């Protein structure tokens, strides 16, 4: 019986993720490339604005940009669409008794798969700047992936559930993501930030994760101290968000 | 005496008045006092309802719109929690979804069968072992690998019902969708429900189609004002309900 339940949950997740993957680009010609074009276009704009015009003192700036933008894209896509996760599945939640937290989970995993598919592009960019993937990646990619997954899934749980009660959140999330983008070292390096503001940037949980990815992809470095700090941070946030979601989940069918 | 599979004991269910909250923070703040009052004011739908349903019974709930019939199904399915009282449900509950709920228009009929079957509690293995028979039952032959946004609504309904028909549930909840598809398919689905009944599957129906209730159910429960007005033989309950409606 227990075995069947676990098996069933795994099937449920895999089928829902497969559905999201199929549906997203079903009616478009470029399909998967859309998930690359968006961050690449952003990279191009930032390159032009900050390297060509403002001449930031960062080496290999285009490579620098995409190592930050690709992971950011995952976080931002998942969180940005999270207000709609539960509303979009209203008829299901109202009728079928199944673990509702699977809905945000499959959406976040779907964006995660897209992120993983962009790693080859990062490798190609790296090779252009004669950076060869290092063995540390084998350790670093799954570990940073896990930390970012916890943070992203937690945020998606929190926002998708609270949005059912305060629908304005949907608009606020957009503003919030925009602000967050600028206080995360995605297109600049943390060392360029004046000393007195730097500690506030470290408080932002996404900062550490983006810095972690960048160290890994650009320098082949995995910093255990940084990792465990931000892993714990993400874990605490995740536990809190999951708790809120569970507490509210009894009310979902009432308000949908 | 058959085993009781569904027991409701003095179940109360109310809904909050969410109008001011879903109206957003702005409305919430402008009407702050009213909003706080509304938080406390709840709209009571079911007032201390008690009943028992035995294994293999087919029970139909009737009553006016908004009397709480669908709420009742939600409580049995476990997606809603009662304010007070006790609900006991034994066995796997399968709800018959509204037309095409859980279907995705851009996926093909076959992909939707897999998706829907899994959402309703089958494992992948179980769906794959039944998929041919589901497709055959639905009667959608050539279109099965087309996206279902190209289907007619009757075809979607047939597909949905075909998945349910292969579920083997222990308790089946049916909310108003017996009249789907063309006459031939209606007959087929009606027979399927009779077959479920013969297999001893407990069924709870909500319908405005009183004739169907009379034909299918062993028992009817009439809800009014959040209470059970009458519970018993479907012919009698339906007749009395009809009289009360025509009187007004």
Within a domain: B129: no
| Tokens of residue B104, six digits | 């995705």
Within a domain: B20: yes
**CB-based contact A167 B24, cutoff 8 Å:** yes
Radius of gyration of chain A (CA): 19
Q: Are B105 and B147 in contact (CB under 8 A)?
A: yes
| Tokens of residue A61, six digits | 């700036």
Distance of CA A162 to the CA centre of its chain: 19
What whole-number distance in Å separates Cα of residue B8 and Cα of residue B161? 28
Comparing A27 with A130, the larger pLDDT belongs to A130
Within a domain: B230: yes
3-state secondary structure of B142: coil
Domain that holds residue A113: 2-255
Distance of residue B8 Cα from the nearest chain A Cα, in angstroms: 18
Closest C-alpha to B225, from B63, B83, B17, B7: B63
- Chain A residues with beta carbon closer than 8 angstroms to that of B18: 165, 254-255
CA A138-A140-A141 angle, 5° bins: 75
- Chain B residues with beta carbon closer than 8 angstroms to that of A2: none
Closest C-alpha to B119, from B104, B133, B106, B108: B104
A254 — contact with chain B (CB < 8 Å)? Answer: yes
Cα torsion at A35, A41, A44, A49 (round to 10°)? -130
Within a domain: B157: no
User: What chain B residue is nearest to A92 in terms of C-alpha separation?
Assistant: B102
Buried residues in A148-171 as b, exposed as e (16+ CB within 10 A): bbbbbbbbbbbbbbbbbebbbbbe
Q: Which residues of chain B have pLDDT under 50?
A: 20
**CB-based contact B22 A23, cutoff 8 Å:** no
User: What chain A residue is nearest to B126 in terms of C-alpha separation?
Assistant: A8
A5 — contact with chain B (CB < 8 Å)? Answer: no
- Chain B residues with beta carbon closer than 8 angstroms to that of A254: 15-16, 18, 80
- Chain B residues with beta carbon closer than 8 angstroms to that of A92: 97, 101-102, 119
Distance of residue A77 Cα from the nearest chain B Cα, in angstroms: 21
> B38 exposed, middle or buried (CB, 10 Å; 0-12, 13-18, 19+)?
middle
- Chain B residues with beta carbon closer than 8 angstroms to that of A19: 104, 107, 111, 115
How many helices (DSSP H) and strands (DSSP E) are in chain B?
10, 9
3-state secondary structure of B178: coil
CB atoms inside a 10 Å sphere around CB A172? 14
- Tally of domains in chain B: 1
HSE of B32 in the Cβ direction (CA atoms, 13 Å)?
Answer: 2
Nearest beta carbon to residue A166 from set B16, B21, B111:
B21
User: What chain A residue is nearest to B70 in terms of C-alpha separation?
Assistant: A95
| DSSP-assigned letter for residue B141 | -
The complex scores an ipTM of 0.80
What whole-number distance in Å separates Cα of residue B30 and Cα of residue B45? 29
Question: Residue A25: which pLDDT band, with cuts at 50, 70 and 90?
Answer: confident
Within a domain: B142: no
What whole-number distance in Å separates Cα of residue A13 and Cα of residue A158? 20
A125-154 pLDDT, tens digit per residue, is 999 988 889 899 999 999 999 999 999 999
Question: H or E stretch including A166?
Answer: none
- Tally of domains in chain A: 1
- Chain A residues with beta carbon closer than 8 angstroms to that of B81: 250
Closest C-alpha to A137, from A245, A212, A29: A212
Comparing A101 with B175, the larger pLDDT belongs to A101
- Chain B residues with beta carbon closer than 8 angstroms to that of A255: 16, 18, 22
Which residues partner with B88 through β-bridges?
B7
> B24 exposed, middle or buried (CB, 10 Å; 0-12, 13-18, 19+)?
middle
Domain that holds residue B225: 4-92+208-247
Distance of residue B97 Cα from the nearest chain A Cα, in angstroms: 7
- Which stretch of A195-199, A221-225, B28-32, B179-183 has the lowest confidence by average pLDDT? B179-183
What was the pLDDT predicted at B35?
Answer: 66
Q: Residue B41 is part of a domain; what is its CATH number?
A: 3.40.50.300
Instruction: Report the percentage of chain A scoring pLDDT > 90.
Output: 67
> B99 exposed, middle or buried (CB, 10 Å; 0-12, 13-18, 19+)?
middle
Helical H segments across A129-168, by residue range: 136-162
| Tokens of residue A231, six digits | 């892993």
- Most confident among A37-46, A171-180, B22-31, B192-201 (mean pLDDT): A171-180
Q: pTM score > 0.90 for this model? A: no
Closest C-alpha to A255, from B175, B15, B47, B27: B15
| Tokens of residue A225, six digits | 């101290």
What whole-number distance in Å separates Cα of residue A248 and Cα of residue A255? 11
What whole-number distance in Å separates Cα of residue B38 and Cα of residue B150? 44
B62-108 pLDDT, tens digit per residue, is 988 888 888 898 899 888 889 999 999 988 888 776 656 678 888 89
Within a domain: B74: yes
Nearest beta carbon to residue A19 from set B115, B120, B147:
B115
């Amino acid at each position: 019986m227990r075995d069947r339940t676990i098996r069933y949950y795994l099937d449920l997740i895999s089928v829902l993720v497969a559905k999201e993957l199929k549906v997203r680009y079903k009616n478009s010609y470029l399909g998967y490339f859309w998930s690359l074009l968006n961050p690449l276009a952003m990279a191009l704009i930032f390159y032009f604005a900050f390297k060509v015009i403002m001449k930031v003192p960062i080496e290999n700036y285009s490579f620098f940009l995409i190592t930050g933008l690709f992971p950011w894209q995952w976080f931002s896509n998942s969180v940005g669409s999270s207000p709609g996760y539960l509303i979009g599945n209203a008829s299901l939640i109202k009728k079928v008794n199944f673990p509702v937290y699977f809905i945000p989970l499959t959406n976040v995993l779907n964006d995660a798969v897209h992120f993983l598919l962009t790693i080859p592009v990062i490798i190609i960019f790296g090779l252009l700047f004669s950076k060869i993937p290092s063995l540390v990646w084998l350790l670093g990619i799954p570990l940073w992936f896990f930390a970012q997954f916890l943070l992203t899934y937690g945020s998606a749980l929190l926002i998708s559930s609270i949005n059912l009660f305060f629908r304005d959140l949907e608009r606020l999330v957009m503003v919030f993501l925009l602000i967050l983008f600028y206080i995360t070292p995605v297109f600049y390096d943390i060392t360029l930030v004046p000393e007195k503001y730097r500690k506030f940037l470290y408080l932002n949980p996404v900062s550490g994760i983006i810095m972690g990815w960048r160290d890994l992809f650009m320098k082949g470095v995995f910093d255990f101290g940084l990792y465990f700090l931000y892993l714990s941070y993400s874990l605490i946030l995740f536990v809190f968000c999951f708790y809120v979601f569970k507490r509210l989940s009894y009310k979902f069918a009432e308000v949908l | 005496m058959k085993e009781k599979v569904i027991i409701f004991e003095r179940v109360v269910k109310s809904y909050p008045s969410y109008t001011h909250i879903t109206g957003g923070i702005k409305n919430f703040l402008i009407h702050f006092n009213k909003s706080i009052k509304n938080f406390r004011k709840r709209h009571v739908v079911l007032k201390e309802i008690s009943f028992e349903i035995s294994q293999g019974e087919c029970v139909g709930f009737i009553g006016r719109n908004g009397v709480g019939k669908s709420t009742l199904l939600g409580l049995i399915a476990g997606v809603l929690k009662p304010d007070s009282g006790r609900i006991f449900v034994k066995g796997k509950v399968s709800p018959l979804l509204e037309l095409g709920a859980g279907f995705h228009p851009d996926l093909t009929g076959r992909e939707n069968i897999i998706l829907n079957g899994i959402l309703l509690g089958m494992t992948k293995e179980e769906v794959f072992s039944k998929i041919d028979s589901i497709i055959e039952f639905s009667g959608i032959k050539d279109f099965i690998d087309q996206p279902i946004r190209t289907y007619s609504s009757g075809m979607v309904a047939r597909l949905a019902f075909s998945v349910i028909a292969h579920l083997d549930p222990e308790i089946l909840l049916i909310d108003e969708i017996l009249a789907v598809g063309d006459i031939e398919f209606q007959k087929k689905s009606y027979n399927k429900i009779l077959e479920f009944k013969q297999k001893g599957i407990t069924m709870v129906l909500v319908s405005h189609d009183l004739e169907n209730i009379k034909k299918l159910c062993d028992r009817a429960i009439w809800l009014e004002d959040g209470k059970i007005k009458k519970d018993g033989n479907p012919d009698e309950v339906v007749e009395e309900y009809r009289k009360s409606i025509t009187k007004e």
